[in-house]
Structure 1
């Protein structure tokens, strides 16, 4: 991967992180508007008021940018700096999650189970399969893709599966057992004989 591609990937990853942080902070701020001393609709009025303030603030920002388009330059620079900083730790976090996460062979088995008799499976299907089993709560397809790639499982951009159109997915041909697993199997069968 070239230096430019790594930089673009870092900014894209960081941008996702910054957007999620902002959304989480806004949602937390709106939730804090709920009053515990009241019941019914009166308790939620604070949330609705904060949500209206947030929407009004976004509307004012939009109007300000429409009136002064050059304001986008400093906003863009600020966003890029924040994304660059947030993206700095993303590869380290992905590697850390991969090292503390599930075994590669267990993930391969899960993917083959979700795939069934087909030759490929969409990541959205795998994510639904995971969440049905109580794993990956709050994950998106991009989160699953990052975790699979960190484990060394290739994710293809256009995979047809289950009669649906092409989207990101995993192919059965890429899920061949690792050489270590093959060696362990052959060692176990030779010691049993």
Structure 2
């Protein structure tokens, strides 16, 4: 019995990990259907359409399995292999803590890197919507893992913390919603404008 306990535990852990991962991806995909430039039921209409698409896909899969029961062997085998791989015990790697013993993690987002990304996503335009920025972050590593499950308010809070100017009336393709304007990013920072006056007073 003890010989089977360890493989069974690995399969159970792997299955749970796969289920959680699928749940997070599906939830994030459905949530991205929300429109921040609309209100009421129109804003969440995209979420309901995506949910209906998923349910229809599950219904089609159920019909295929009912028509070809042998397909369950294939699906079960694929799931077992994936669960076995996902349930592999994590290998502890050497700690990369600083020499002074500090355990504080480095900040996930850097202001200058975010500013460069925002200007790139504007593609020569006057601004960019936050939902466009969020979609880019969630589709490209390494920010995809950091921003999984984020919504526009989450990204807006991070940008505000980095002192990146955001506004709810940014127009892109004629649609106003939360975003960042190019002129706000290209304006000199308060620290830069204060340096000359400080140096002048010191010289005087």
TM range (shorter): 0.3 to 0.5
Compute the TM-score of the two structures, normalised by the length of structure 1: 0.45
Q: Which has the larger radius of gyration?
A: 2
Compute the TM-score of the two structures, normalised by the length of structure 2: 0.43
